[in-house]
Structure 1
Amino acid sequence: MRWACLLLPQLAMDVVLRNHPHPERALVLVDGPHARRRLYAVNEAARALGLKPNMPLIAAQAIVDGFQTVEHDPAAVEHARGLLAAWAYGYSSQVSTQFAHALVFEIGRSRSLFGAWPELRQRLAAELRELGFRHRMAAAPNPQAARALTNIRDGLCFDEDNLVPALAKMPLERCGFDADTVQALQRMGLRKLGAVQALPRAPLARRFGQHVLTHLDALHGAATPLLTYFQPPDAFDARIELGHEVESSQALLFPLRRLTADLAAYLSGRDGGVERFTLILEHERHPHRPQLPHSEVAVGLLAPERDAAMLFELARGRLQQARIPAPVVGLRLLAEQLPPFVPASRDLFDPRPQQALPWAQLRERLRARLGDDGVQGLAVHPDHRPERAWRNVSGDAPTRSNKTVSAPTNTTRPGWLLIEPEPLREPLARILAGPERIESGWWDQDDVRRDYYLVETVKGQRAWAYRDAGGDGALTLHGWFA
């Protein structure tokens, strides 16, 4: 077996920065009692101003001003850990969140799918950057060793043959021991893990406790503690606090893009798609509007989808059509209908131009922009009368009726049928075919008796025109041929 560890050293700050429109500005997370507020975490811009974690907020404000403060939200951090675990579930069914500030997941069985460690690491790093999380990664034969290696350098990978020599060179403070144990061992002159491993086990256990031997065995793979594995939830529910009132849908596009990207990562991890999700616009409760409900924007798809760009385009189209009755202070995305996802089949030699969209995606974008009734299909209807020989259909309804009707053979029909027939005003050059008689409709009081002709005008246009059956009056235009 081989385990990968994903260390998230700045997870609390990343949770805020990935949803912040200006992450380059100085920003700090604060927590603690009101009278003793302290800096929980700082971003790079704030660190450049001299601010550090655990610094009292009053001291930070005395040093410099102009930085933004955000309340540290442990619940949001745990939600982010769950999102990352659901994302990692797409690479392994054995994902654990038991390690502080880290995820571990087994990758040995996935080599045939994702390649060796260099290729897999590159792929994981690219997806994590897209999600907005800083990280360090390492791989080892057991999860405890992988976790310890992330304390040394990003990208390390050792197998059973070279793991023990690599662990022997590790500083004790990077091996996962508690601070008191590390300090006591260093007072004995021990600096590397190999020196501790060489000590007699019985005296070491009597002086420092059995937990030291347990951790040593876990690092070397002699005894791996049991892990609790993550199971992805059956629904996706994520929320972004905006921090200020937003009155236009345009200002909601930045958090919407983040939410749809997170939804796509979640769906990819569980190998599923989404057929319907809801955007919930949260409004602040005002004294004169205490009963104002949250607004909901439903986004429905005709087929399951999980592409992040596609989900964002559909949600944006629906959101721009929605009416926002009051300023928005929070945006929530809820997806509960998560059917299996089946990728669209593609030809080996795909003739589709690079800039073109598959029909399914184009249809969904048009429906999002124009509404559910704005995009319709056409279906053949069993009726000889041209104006009644077709029907509008919605969604993925069949485009051909199950009923059959006898039709004349060796006939052509125009691609453009006029909404209402009108007199043929263009002078005729000749009649190319006809007459074709159509008599129908006696049963619904819309009886027609017509003789149809394929004609050519003096301008070279080909038209479909008719006159009353058996008559010789002027022709009436009913359609044009391309």
Structure 2
Amino acid sequence: MLLWAALLPVTDPPSASPSTEALDGIATWALQYTPRVAVVESSAVAMELGGNARLFGGRRRLVERIKTEASELGLAPPSWAPTSLAALALARAGLTNGFQQPLDQVLNALPLGTLSAARAHEPTLARLGCRTLGDVRTLPRGGLSRRFDAQLLAALDQAYGLRPDSHAWSTVPEQFDQRLELMSRVEHAPAMLFGARRLLMQLCGWLAARRCGTTAITLRWCHDVMRSKTAGDGGEITIRTAEVTRNVEHLSRLLAENLAKVTLLAPVGDLQLLADEVHALEEKAASLLPDPEQSRESLALVLERVAARLGPDRVLRPVLAADHRLEWMVHWQPAPQARPRKAVQPSPLPQPTFALPEPLKLAVKGDMPIYQGPLALLSGPHRVEGGWWHRLPDGEGGTRAQTVVRDYWVALSRHAGVLWIFQTRLSNDKTAWYLQGVFA
């Protein structure tokens, strides 16, 4: 499911439009989470996170993390919806969750001003009795298309998910050089840290998007125009680190220590942050199993250590068996107990990429199997027979033989692709067909 977030900067006054520079800075910060980031209608930043949520611990953790960082960046609480324009409309209405009800119900209750295409025609739509987006949707589409421009219908369809979103995606800049206008003039250097931290968060987002870190940054400040001639235009301070980093807390502490030693010659109104030295940062693997090539440790030793930590029955390895029956080709054994065996001669028959846990009985039409439509038999029969030596409990205190007598076929489904199916032999139901695997 698509998960769009709309981020609106808090402006003073609230009706003011955010600057292009501010929106670009927010987009740069957002690129650490997803490449699908766009500036929408020159008033907000939208980001699509549905495909990346699991990389950040799941949807709930990602939503909470972005909500916390957005507050530190001076943004309104993010709004969430299945489409970008729906998320933007909710943000303008002061709502945050577009998943509590069906999208149609959520958007129908919003006023016209929450959608820019409808806001442009608000006086005319009001004379037609329209007060909400739902009222506009009740009007005949033919009349809307003739009386209003095409953007109105297109925006409505995109907001309601009837037409795909179309955006010019933001890209990661080659260099980081971001400015910030302070909300009030600052007369003491330590007070600049509040605004500088926002720039540091954007810097760390930029570094994460580039898989890099920094060893040197420069913070510059500009004095207010109402300053003495001896104060100069401003000043700057450069921070260096011993190791490559993109930890915002570490950089904030270093900057705070250095700003405590600075004396401003005039009030400051603007800040600028630059990344002077950028280096590739070696990522730490989040996997439980380290890469043997990087750790110079064999996979067997790694599995033994993990099995000792989690328990021997929780770490399994596949062991091949010399058997043509699909159910018996692979056995799973505890990793410390599994030992390499002699090479198993590969089966001359085509083998499916994915096997079903249990064969699925197929419908039959005219003695031919059906699965999402008629099946075309490509090759076969591949006859497999055996298993009399395996005996399983019969549920009545005895045992029964696990004998397999089948004719396998490679079949083609128009909708499901290439399938691995079989027909039972020496059975009372000679027309029975089963699906057992799927080819990738």
What TM bracket, shorter-length normalisation? Answer: 0.5 to 0.7
Contact 1:150 1:156 in 2 (8 A): no
Is contact 1:121–1:155 with CA below 8 Å preserved after alignment? no
CA distance in 2, matches of 1:198, 1:158: 23
- 1:274 has 2:214 as partner: yes
Say which SS state the counterpart of residue 12 (structure 1) adopts. Answer: coil
Q: List per-residue Cα deviations over 1:430-460 (Å, max 9, x = no partner).
A: xxxxxxxxxxxxxxxxxxxxxxxxxxxxxxx
Structure 1 residue aligned with 2:319? none
User: Aligned in 2, Cα 1:109/1:181: closer, same or farther, shift over 3 Å?
Assistant: same
Q: Which residue of 1 aligns with 2:98?
A: 157
* Alignment CA distance shift 1:3-1:268 (3 Å): same
After superposition, the C-alpha distances for 1:325-361 in whole angstroms (9 at most, x for unaligned) are 955745533213222333568999xxxxxxxxxxxxx
**Residues 155, 119 of structure 1: CA spacing in aligned structure 2 closer, same or farther, 3 A cutoff?**
farther
| Partner of residue 75, structure 2 | 133
> 1:307 and 2:247 equivalent?
yes
> Aligned ranges for residues 72-471 of structure 1 at < 5 Å?
77-114=19-56, 117-140=59-82, 142-158=83-99, 162-179=102-119, 181-224=121-164, 226-239=166-179, 246=187, 250=190, 252-280=192-220, 282=222, 289=230, 295-319=235-259, 326-327=265-266, 329=268, 331-342=271-282
Q: In the aligned structure 2, how far is the partner of 1:256 from the partner of 1:220? A: 39
Check 1:171–1:232 CA distance in 2 against 1; reply closer, same or farther (3 A cut).
same
Following superposition, the deviation at residue 193 of structure 1 comes to: 3.7
Residue by residue over 1:18-60, the C-alpha shift from the partner in whole angstroms, topping out at 9 and shown as x without a partner, is xxxxxxxxxxxxxxxxxxxxxxx17xxxxxxxxxx7xxxxxxx
Conserved 8 A contact 2:72-2:198: no
| Helix, strand or coil at the partner of 1:85 | helix
Q: State the Cα distance separating 1:261 from its structure 2 match.
A: 4.2
Count residues with an aligned counterpart. 285
Offset of 1:231 from its aligned partner?
1.2
Larger radius of gyration: 1
C-alpha separation between the residues in 2 aligned to 1:282 and 1:274?
Answer: 24
Q: Which amino acid aligns with 1:103?
A: V
- In the TM superposition, residue 148 of structure 1 has moved relative to its aligned partner by 2.5
CA contact (8 A) 2:80 2:87 kept: yes
Aligned-pair distance for 1:300?
1.9
Q: Does 1:5 align with 2:5?
A: yes
Amino acid at match of 2:91: T
Alpha-carbon distance, 1:125 to partner: 0.9
User: 1 CA distance for matches of 2:140 and 2:180?
Assistant: 54
* Residue 77 of structure 1, CA deviation: 3.1
Pick closer, same or farther for the CA change 1:110–1:207 going to 2, 3 Å: same
- Give the direction of change, closer, same or farther, for the CA distance of 1:245–1:174 in structure 2 (3 Å limit): closer
For residues 281 and 198 of structure 1, the distance between their equivalents in structure 2, rounded to whole angstroms, comes to 54
TM-score w.r.t. the length of structure 1 is 0.49
Aligned to 1:462: none
**Within 2, Cα distance between the matches of 1:156 and 1:4?**
11
Residues 209-228 of structure 1, C-alpha deviation per residue, up to 9 Å, x if partnerless? 33332223222333335310
Q: Which amino acid aligns with 2:44?
A: A
Task: Please tell me the residue identity of whatever aligns with 1:80.
Answer: A
- 2:87 aligned partner, one-letter code: A
Identity of aligned residues (%): 28
Quote the offset at 1:240 in angstroms.
Answer: 5.2
Partner SS, residue 121 of structure 2: helix
Q: Distance in 1 between matches of 2:132 and 2:196?
A: 49
Inter-partner Cα distance in structure 2 for 1:138 and 1:347: 30
Return the letter of the residue paired with 2:11. Answer: A
TM-score by length of 2: 0.54
> Are the counterparts in 2 of residues 283 and 327 from structure 1 also a CA contact under 8 Å?
yes
Residue identity in the other structure for 2:143? P
Where structure 2 has 5 or more consecutive residues not aligned to the other structure, the ranges are 289-440
In structure 2, the CA distance between the partners of 1:181 and 1:265, relative to structure 1 (3 Å rule), is same
Which residue identity does 1:277 align to in structure 2?
A: I
- 1: CA distance, partners of 2:78 / 2:26: 14
Amino acid in structure 2 at the alignment position of 1:144: L
Closer, same or farther: CA 344–327 of 1 in aligned 2, 3 Å: farther
Could you report, residue by residue, the CA deviation over 1:353-391 in whole angstroms, capped at 9, with x for unpaired residues? xxxxxxxxxxxxxxxxxxxxxxxxxxxxxxxxxxxxxxx
Tell me, in whole angstroms, the C-alpha distance in 1 between the residues paired with 2:127 and 2:185.
Answer: 53
The CA deviation at 1:230 is 0.8
SS of the equivalent of 1:339 reads strand
* Paired amino acid for 1:114: F
For residues 134-193 of structure 1, give each alpha carbon's deviation from its aligned partner in whole angstroms, at most 9, with x where no partner exists.
Answer: 2341221x322332233445332349x933344444444444443463333333334454
* Secondary structure of 2:19's aligned partner: helix
Structure 1: which 5+ runs fail to align?
14-40, 43-52, 54-71, 349-482
Q: Is the 8 A contact 2:39 2:46 kept in 1?
A: yes
- The one-letter amino acid of 2:151's match is H
Question: Counterpart of 2:217 in structure 1: which amino acid?
Answer: F
**One-letter code of the match for 1:217?**
D
Distance 1:131 1:137 in 2: 15
Q: Which amino acid aligns with 1:264?
A: C
Distance in 2 separating the partners of 1:86 and 1:196: 36
8 Å CA contact 1:273, 1:305 repeated in 2: yes
Distance 1:154 1:340, change over 3 A: farther
Q: Is the 8 A contact 1:86 1:270 kept in 2?
A: no
Taking the aligned partners of 1:178 and 1:101, their CA distance within structure 2 comes to 16
Structure 2 distance, partners of 1:193, 1:130, is 32
